[in-house]
Structure 1
Amino acid sequence: MSLDDKEPLVREPTSADCDSQDTAPDIIQPGITSINTEVANQHSYNSKDGSTEYNGVVYKRRWYILIMFCLLTFTQGGIWNTWGPVTTSAKYAFGWNDGDIDLLSNWGPITFVLSTFIFTWLMDVKGLRWACVITMALVAVGSALRCITTEPVAATWLIHAGQLLNGIGGPVAMAAGPLLSNAWFPVAHRTSVTACTATANVLGIAVTFIIGPLMIRAPPSAENCTLSSINCSCFANSSCEPSKADVASDILLLMYIEAGWSIAIFLLMVVYFPSKPPTPPTASASTIRVDHNAGLVALLKNHRVWMVAVPYSVCGVYAVWTSVLGVNLEGRVSEVEAGWLGFWASVAGMIAALILARFADIFAGHLKKLLLLLLLGAIGSFVWFAVLVAGLVPSDSPGWTVMLYTSYILGGIFETGSTAFFYEIACEASFPTAEGVTTGFLTFLNNVCGLVFLFIFMIPNVDKKFMNWVLIGSTTAVVPVVILYKERYTRLDLDTQIEHKG
């Protein structure tokens, strides 16, 4: 008899299981007291009465799967953020304005909102492989479209089309991390892996803050000639006064590099990227999840999920705020310096997120406390940054640049570090709804808020100075909601009970 013919270790859950607010759903088959030896050699399950044990199997290939997924989300995030760090150069080469740059960033949340539930269904029904391969195909095709021409009118249309296709892949890049971590990794690594997948997207954004300004020459100006000597020296035949054709040529080279990279990742995923291992690593990973549509309905009725989703969605303002950093600091620092600022904030946030996630794995069950500390730290950092940018502290004051870097980098550390905690808390609250559905729901609301924020900046002649205060207000508003949230660790309790009884 094959393993697939054996009686399942868990019963089919219903949406009522997701509605339970105070106790973990009892989804373990009570009648199972023994299992075939072949199965026992791979895994065993402990029911609540201790009659059965479950010892999950972990595979070395899980690290390859994690690396490939991180490359996907790294690439998608980097291509989305291509234009913010080279705002001035892109305006010069193609005749764009701030509204064009904002719209290029806005395609991410626009298409995310439109495609979220298609991809959550795909992840839930068809699995990670289909979702990730299709996503990477969209990213690769979108990046290739931008390589066709540098003629301003045609290039503008093709670049917008490329950004649109890249944005459609956003739901998988942002929401599939917890699904992957639960499917492939043991409990002790779950939050850390979720943090890895989330910060890979941040790393992609960080790299574009550097590679764009270094590869693409800035338009002629006295400021760029003095502050962008590194940028100029990257090209043997360049000068501090490049023509529009020169800048467009630099942009095209970057487009070729990003397209080649994207196509290579796509081909690797086509060759090998399974949805899940032969045997789940944990009891919760082996649990049959609620049907996709029933899970969505259960999420909408679960007030605990809303108390996580609303704060996370409001915090979505931060992601789009960073994408228009060049506009925010225009006239205060050079494009290259703004790029380095964004880079170091992203890298610091990524490193901090990984450290905090590992800490959370070791001291499981305290995600809310850590999340509150991160949010309070972010508020203080953003207030400091806004005061500096608003000119309340003169820019010629001693240490002004150091303070600007410090405040922005600290904000990146605290805000980026909170992402994995939001995901994991929500997945715990919604179990046994599938992780991809839950995080897709969170990121959908997150992008709706980001969309509203960016649309404001597409209004002609709108004052950009208030963007920093909007960020502060939105982050502050979520703190009371997080304080009122009552933690419930359904998956964690199930897995740890099994481990202790085993």
Structure 2
Amino acid sequence: MASEDERIPIVREEIPNGYGSISTEEGRSSDLCHKQRESQCGYNNGDIEQNGNLGSPVVTETTLARFWILLVFSVLSWLNCVLWDTFGPINESVEAAFPSWGPSTVAMTVNWTTIMFLIFVAPMCLTIQRCGLRTVVIVAAAILFLGTSLRCITTKLPWFTVLSDLCSMLVGVASTIILAGPSLIASEWFPLNERTTAVAVMMGSSQLGGVGSYLEPLLVQTPGHGVSPEEIRGQIMTLLYIGAGATGVLLAAILIYFPSRPPLPPSITSSITRLDMKSGVISLCKNKDFLLISLAYGISVGPPIAWIPVLNYSLAPLGFHQDHAMWIGLSSVLTSSLFPVVYGRIMDRFHEHMRTNLVFLMFLSSACFFWFLLLSYGTIPKSTWQVYVSVVGGLTLNYTTIPLFYELAAEIAYPVPEILVSAILTAADNLISTLFLSVFLVPGIGYNWVTIVLTICSSYSIIPLTLAKIRYIRTKLDLSDT
């Protein structure tokens, strides 16, 4: 990338939705996409000048404001995850305070979020293209505030159940931008050598929300001698009040400052107009390599994501109850939030080796889940350290693949909008998560099936990943500025 002191004058025409494009004609963007599909491996200088009009010099600049955007969106992602997984880590307390609740009720508070994401992800993509990032993020924060406020109204059944489910639905609507937005924000605000790290930070913050969830037993007591259901209900309501207050403060911060994009693009590709949503969907449907990546991502990542909120149910047969399971969940969340950032920083220095690293991470994750499967079925003697290492290792390695998948998919799909690419990937893992959580509704099915699903999904998803042809289109364009 050119440094700020080595800028070249820019020649570009202003357009309503961006900085001004190197090529604002839809036909030319489509032609660029077509040429990329034909070449399958990148550009030479002649291709760039002819198809993207990159003979026109482009000024690139990074601003400190990108770190504020990263911070605010990361906090929003963190809070969204806490709200998504409010009741799973305190399932024993919730079931004691509200006798009509059980595993299926807790699972549905999580499942409603994934269902609503699948319903509203397409309207979100259209809205963000027409209204911009700022408007959509404000709406998402306002929806979270509304949902968390509603479930603070009463503890009386069945109204508490209804309002909790309604809150979960609203969290699902808000999560469309929160889960699909990181790639778009990284593309709009960060240069090539920071994009994967930025995505990893935002994704890691979302996962870090599990820390807030798994610390809930410190505030809400476990049922036992001398602890009444009324006392537990009061503690649960205090927890819900804290959630509502936090969303209100965050909404105010976003209203104060959260622009859609910086004054100047941070990279060449940030200044190029993407395909419109209709053309982008058509392009992705015809792109078999992107479809293979999406399949691998959904199958590999969906079940572990859904497992986190109901992890307690898999640990209980091994003798780990709510208080002890809290520390396993907390360890898993911490490591799977921080390690992807470290690994993402490494990948920002080795842009064209993402698939090799993905296969490596997925293989190790599968090995850890298989280890936990053997422990669950008593094939090998159980010990505390083995449970910790297998669960924490499997989830951490699996979550480390997420930012790599997002960036790899954006490379293959370019010039399809990053928000559309991310939305489809996230819809894939939400669909698989919904199917996974729905199995909990089957009476008497138990929990040992979970470890089998985790092992099969994380291992067999390597197959479609290896079949895809990888082309680092976006990276080659940005490196042309060096």
Work out the CA distance in 1 between the residues paired with 2:443 and 2:82.
27
How far off is 1:16 after superposition?
A: 5.0
Work out the CA distance in 2 between the residues paired with 1:84 and 1:367.
34
Report SS of the residue matched to 1:324. helix
Where does residue 308 of structure 1 map in the other structure? 293
Root-mean-square deviation (CA, aligned residues, Å) is 2.1
User: Which amino acid in the other structure matches residue 432 of structure 1?
Assistant: P
Aligned partner (choices 343, 347, 360) of residue 360 of structure 1: 347
Farther off after superposition, 322-331 or 473-482: 322-331
Work out the CA distance in 2 between the residues paired with 1:475 and 1:31.
39
User: Which amino acid in the other structure matches residue 412 of structure 1?
Assistant: L
Change (3 A) 1:116 1:27: farther
Gaps of 5+ in 2: 1-10
Change (3 A) 1:65 1:155: same
Alignment of 1:236-385 (within 5 A): 240-315=225-300, 316-331=302-317, 332-385=319-372
Report SS of the residue matched to 2:348. helix
Report SS of the residue matched to 1:288. coil
TM-score when scaled to structure 1?
Answer: 0.88
Verify: 1:10 aligned to 2:23, yes or no: yes
User: Which amino acid in the other structure matches residue 472 of structure 1?
Assistant: T
Where does residue 128 of structure 1 map in the other structure? 133
How far off is 1:456 after superposition?
A: 1.1
Where does residue 154 of structure 1 map in the other structure? 159
Q: CA-to-partner distance for each residue in 1:393-426, whole Å, 9 max, x for gaps?
A: 344xxxx001111111111220110000000000
Q: Is the 8 A contact 2:32 2:51 kept in 1?
A: no
Work out the CA distance in 1 between the residues paired with 2:354 and 2:155.
48
User: Which amino acid in the other structure matches residue 90 of structure 2?
Assistant: V
Change (3 A) 1:260 1:242: same
Work out the CA distance in 1 between the residues paired with 2:51 and 2:68.
38
Work out the CA distance in 1 between the residues paired with 2:151 and 2:33.
44
How far off is 1:440 after superposition?
A: 0.2
Q: Is the 8 A contact 1:305 1:426 kept in 2?
A: yes
Q: Is the 8 A contact 1:87 1:327 kept in 2?
A: no
Aligned partner (choices 395, 419, 422) of residue 436 of structure 1: 419
Gaps of 5+ in 1: 33-45, 221-239
TM-score when scaled to structure 2?
Answer: 0.91
Alignment of 1:189-200 (within 5 A): 189-200=194-205
Work out the CA distance in 2 between the residues paired with 1:483 and 1:60.
38
Where does residue 399 of structure 2 map in the other structure? 416
Report SS of the residue matched to 1:333. coil
Where does residue 119 of structure 1 map in the other structure? 124
Report SS of the residue matched to 1:352. helix
Q: Is the 8 A contact 2:33 2:414 kept in 1?
A: yes
How far off is 1:3 after superposition?
A: 6.7
Work out the CA distance in 1 between the residues paired with 2:130 and 2:259.
14
Q: Is the 8 A contact 2:145 2:244 kept in 1?
A: yes
Q: CA-to-partner distance for each residue in 1:463-485, whole Å, 9 max, x for gaps?
A: 22111111111111111111222
User: Which amino acid in the other structure matches residue 401 of structure 1?
Assistant: T
Count of residues in Structure 1 that have an aligned counterpart in Structure 2: 459
How far off is 1:53 after superposition?
A: 3.0
Q: Is the 8 A contact 1:86 1:326 kept in 2?
A: no
Q: Is the 8 A contact 2:186 2:199 kept in 1?
A: yes
Q: Is the 8 A contact 2:59 2:265 kept in 1?
A: no
Change (3 A) 1:91 1:7: closer
Work out the CA distance in 2 between the residues paired with 1:319 and 1:261.
24
Farther off after superposition, 405-414 or 325-334: 325-334
Work out the CA distance in 2 between the residues paired with 1:125 and 1:477.
39
Identical amino acids, percent of aligned pairs: 26
Verify: 1:74 aligned to 2:78, yes or no: yes
Work out the CA distance in 2 between the residues paired with 1:425 and 1:354.
16
Where does residue 478 of structure 1 map in the other structure? 461
Q: Is the 8 A contact 1:187 1:492 kept in 2?
A: yes
Work out the CA distance in 2 between the residues paired with 1:118 and 1:204.
26
Where does residue 61 of structure 1 map in the other structure? 65
